[in-house]
Structure 1
């Protein structure tokens, strides 16, 4: 009888533990992967890349093929929600903005291509409003934007451009998913280094709030790297471009925090990268879940034109 009396409490607590874990699983979601995709038109359609440099043309196709492969991976994960960070959206001076319309629609002219490429997506206005509310309560600099109508009720779609359209265009079966867009504030142009602590903190808090949405989630960072690789480009040439891109690649292949927030930060003001703040925010998000839980992989990092482009994935172990 003594052995029975000992087994009963053990069985009781085991059942309680199972019930608790099941309840926990039902009350929280899962971030199944994070990705970095470029938004340059060369990546979208290299066949219209106007260059006689065969190496540059080959690099453009490598980036395109890598982005296609990552798009397939995202589709295979079957997310309920894609959280897309864009540096070229409709932006506030100070605050990170979520798009609150039920639909999004827009176009992107690719490099040397008359186009444009058009895309329509379902935006998760309910989850976006939840994130705005809860992140605001926690003191984060976030707000929401609704276009041509009330939040969640506007009949017209929210306008999208290349920063959203091109990365999302690589995702197959997009019609089966919803998208939440967070637009980086325009102070990123001059204050990206000063924003690093804020971005890391926002990423960590965002991680926890995303889990509470009870959805299967993919995080997608729309990002190009240094824009100063070519003296004939619109921003000229800087010696900071190459080391900046290499530091970002080192981070994306190892999750070495110093490579991103120390080394790359030394060059970003002269490298002129539109995607840097999104990368730092993503690092804060992954760090909150423990960096050991992610498998980083860089598929390509090239600059066939004046700007650098990187394709990377971070899958959960």
Structure 2
């Protein structure tokens, strides 16, 4: 279910990690819930003018903080008005001979930022098959010119991951061989969110009930706490075992970063229902049904509608009974 996207409500694909410097609940300029609307209006007005670079940063922090207290207009403004940086020109890396000898796909991941002048700085190697290959890719990234990220038409410095993959053929192209290779990635580079994302999606696309799937999602969510796909999928998995209180902060992240995605709304409704917040659950499930695209499979639409009917039947204006505790 987590692989369905809402192209209108969530421009970023599920595979993309959001820039932590933009969608950051802890950004400087925290906003109290009672002042979120006022702060949002002030930030939007500032961006409509000719702000300085410092003012753009402050407006970004204010919008991020307003989004973090569930002012979804602020979340949607960020989603609609943020454009990622783009590569313009730069050298190609020199690939070490060792890469070809391994006969396996090879991934290099860097962490850094792209400033408003279009240059990458503060680069660090997160994952590389050989140290000198990571250094080579870092040299190339530093020498590359980018079009900087934009917020409402204004350049803004932003954090990002730089990823380079060489599609070397696997010696054994079976699904088991791919899974083994990805497990080697996370074992060797346990701090690589990219590696954990690869493992979680590979497990989820095959057997979400298999051992290790929830653990992979938990590790990914810890490394990339604002990654909406991981947050939503982990929350859904928690709901299946009655862990609604643990699911709630995760699904809030997903609601903030994918506020129109029907599967996120469905998960949010399930969490709220399990917490006994009947009216809120009904509201989110109604939105989930309304947001389904016309091309969605009929079986999925019927499933969403059945869930809404169940909520209406069991909650005709009140709250459902408190859920029974789940044994550890």
TM-score band, normalised by shorter chain: under 0.3
Q: TM-score, normalised by structure 2?
A: 0.24
Q: TM-score, normalised by structure 1?
A: 0.25
- Higher share of residues assigned helix: 2
